[in-house]
Amino acid sequence: MQTDPSQKYRPFPPVPLSDRRWPGRTLTHAPSWCSVDLRDGNQALAVPMNVAQKLELFQALVRCGFQEIEVGFPSASNTEFAFNRLLIEKGHIPDNVTVQVLVQAREDLIERTFQSLAGARRVIIHLYNSTSPAQRRVVFGKSREEIKAIAVQGARWIQERLHRLPGTDVRLQYSPESFSATEVEFAREISEAVMDVWRPTPERRMILNLPDTVEVAMPNVYADQIEWMCRNLRDREALIVSLHTHNDRGTGVAATELGLLAGADRVEGCLFGNGERTGNLDLVTVALNLYMHGIHPGLNLSDLDGIRRIYTRCTGMGVPPRHPYAGELVFTAFSGSHQDAIKKGLAEWASGGRTHWDVPYLTIDPADIGREYSEVIRVNSQSGKGGVAFLLEDKFRIELPKDLQREFGPIANDLVDALGREVSAEELRDMFWKEYVERTTPWRLVHFHADGVDGVFDCRCTVVRDGQELSLTGRGNGPIAAFVHALAGAGVPKFEVADFRQHALETGEEASAIAYIQVQGADGRKRWGVGVDTHIELASIQAVLSALNRL
Ligand code: KIV
Ligand code: ZN
């Protein structure tokens, strides 16, 4: 790295907009969306998608509700051309979906693009040429006037061929590529020169796409650029101003959101931020950010895992575990205090006590995007009793009494710590079973029977102590009390039942019950025991022995 980076790099110059209005605004509605997964996203893949993969992704995008989908660059390769033809000829494009195709301002490419569109119902033809000082100087070696002439000529070549698509509803789009690195005055000049050719009207608007081709500044600067354009372009009402951000500085989403505040109408991007270099704008994040503020994005993301699976299969790209909304770990809490807060928040929400979502640590209800509560809480050595209890209850309906949670939490924590990894709910249940339910030494129950008359119960039971079978009898005001007295008669040091809960565990033929009993020894020490049996009374007797075995 440079010791003085200012010798090599410089800040981006501010936009001449001192009375900017976007900072005081709030988003109130969703923009229109255009997925560029099949073009910008595809051209960024080491192995571009084949026709079958593009079709699968196209159909997934349609199911998500995208009504504008850039399907490719048909003049760039035979695959792209063939894909376009397949969509049109095989009727894969629903009536409410417009396909968009990209083309450079070159006559041969425009000609081929028109050939690829024959018979389409509705299309957007997207013309672009690059406009920034670096592109003008390094790539084209042309002046501003010459760069403008390229755009105008491209627009004319398109205009002249429109009659070749009879019966096709054609909308036109122009992108001054590298807009965000272009002087705003020149971006306006070149955009208006294209408008002069295409003559958009409020009834027949053209799309002016203003790309953040490479993020060169902070998102507030992009917002200034968009507001400047919206306020200074002529015939604004004849334009659909579109955003197309990339993520070079990691702020593609922010730039789009601020660009919408600044007056844009439309957003281009890719699922999960796929695209050149650091990616295009992540459409899913912007859409769900709107959703979490109560604005329906107009996209159906209710099966986000399913969308992610198709995306991964088709593009070969992954979604990082901490990716907003879609990442495997984003609705997961390992930390005990987070788990506790989430558990309480989810319980409050489930009780119906609140109208609006306000669960700590969860921006939206994971269920709304098809994710499960059970993945919300996962247990590792950082987790506390809350997470352990949540998983046991959520997965196995084991509703640990609060005080038992306090007892088992640290035990589970030590076991997980020793393993040095995350544990599954099944593993946690096994730990719980081993610690409580399967405690059969020194005491084990062989047989128990109790009869009660007028609130007085007599029990007869067989237990094994240290391998030796004992037959005992006892009397009390309930079966448990009778059993405790029977044990006292066998010389067990005095203890009391301090707490007792029970509930059904499973229903149907497999029906069983679980009982939790806390006993207190003569020295004041308390321990929980747990019993499970198909017979509720036997579950509680087993629980007494489990507690005794742990005392
Ligand atoms: O990033 C970009 O500028 C583009 C244009 C072709 C719109 O992808
Ligand atoms: Zn792009």
Separation of CA 401 and ligand 2 centre (Å):
56
State the DSSP string of 252-265.
HHHHHHHHHHTT--
Q: Which atom of ligand 1 is nearest to the CA of 280?
A: 1
Residue 506 has pLDDT above 90, yes or no: no
Q: What is the CATH number of the domain that holds 152?
A: 3.20.20.70
**Which residue among 34, 38, 126, 128 has the greatest number of ligand 1 atoms within 8 angstroms of its CB, and so is best to mutate?**
128
Average pLDDT over residues 350-359: 95
Would the CB of 244 count as within 6 Å of ligand 1? yes
pLDDT of residue 374: 57
> Is the CB–ligand 1 distance for residue 175 below 6 Å?
yes
Judge whether 22 lies within some domain: no
Q: Indicate if 119 and 143 belong to the same structural domain.
A: yes
327 domain-assigned: no
> What is the band of 375 on the pLDDT scale with cuts at 50, 70, 90?
low
For residue 491, the model assigns a pLDDT of: 85
Tens of pLDDT, residue by residue over 165-175, are: 999 999 999 99
Do 204 and 310 belong to one domain?
yes
Domain end (from 281, 315, 349): 315
| For residue 509, pLDDT beyond 70 | no
Same domain, residue pair 95 and 237: yes
Q: Is 252 in the pocket of ligand 1 (CB under 6 A)?
A: no
Q: In this structure, is residue 182 part of a structural domain? A: yes
pTM assigned to the model: 0.83
* In-domain check, residue 277: yes
363 and 283 part of one domain: no
pLDDT band for 161, please (50, 70, 90 cuts). Answer: very high
Judge if the beta carbon of residue 180 lies within 6 A of ligand 1. Answer: no
Are 400 and 305 members of one domain?
Answer: no
Residue 239 belongs to a domain: yes
Residues 467 and 404 in one domain: no
Q: Is residue 18 part of a domain?
A: no
**Res. 86 pLDDT band, cuts 50 70 90:** very high
Q: Which helix (H) or strand (E) holds 410?
A: helix 402-419
The stretch 185-191 carries a mean pLDDT of 98
Q: pLDDT digit string (tens) for 310-339?
A: 999 999 999 999 999 999 989 988 887 888
User: From the CB of 212, is ligand 1 less than 6 Å away?
Assistant: no
Q: Looking at the structure, do residues 154 and 206 belong to the same domain, yes or no?
A: yes
Full domain range(s) for residue 369: 336-436
Pocket test for ligand 1, best of 174, 244, 268, 277 (most atoms within 8 A of CB): 244
Alpha-carbon gap, residue 295 to 284, rounded angstroms: 14
- Average pLDDT of the chain? 95
Kindly state whether residues 175 and 55 are assigned to the same domain: yes
CB-ligand 1 contact for 70 (6 Å cutoff): no
Residue 276 CA, closest ligand 1 atom number: 1
Q: Which amino acid residue places its CA nearest to atom 5 of ligand 1?
A: 177
Nearest CA to ligand 1 atom 1: 213
Over residues 342-359, mean pLDDT: 93
Q: Domain tally for the chain?
A: 3
Whether 129 and 208 share a structural domain: yes
Q: 130 C-alpha to center of ligand 1: Å?
A: 9
Question: 206 and 351: one domain?
Answer: no
> What is the share, in percent, of the chain residues with pLDDT greater than 90?
87
Residue 243 Cα, ligand 1 centroid: separation in angstroms?
Answer: 10
CA 115 – ligand 2 centroid, Å = 24
- The string of DSSP codes covering 80-126 is HHHHHHHHHHTT-S-TT-EEEEEEES-HHHHHHHHHHHTT-SEEEEE
pLDDT band at 190, cuts 50/70/90?
Answer: very high
* Residue 469 located in a structural domain: yes
Residue 399 shares a structural domain with residue 352? yes
CA-to-CA distance for 543 and 500, rounded, in angstroms? 9
Domain final position from 414, 436, 458: 436
Instruction: Say how far apart CA 84 and CA 65 lie, in whole Å.
Output: 20
The pLDDT of residue 244 is above 80: yes
**Domain end position, chosen among 412, 436, 460:** 436
Same domain, 138 and 41: yes
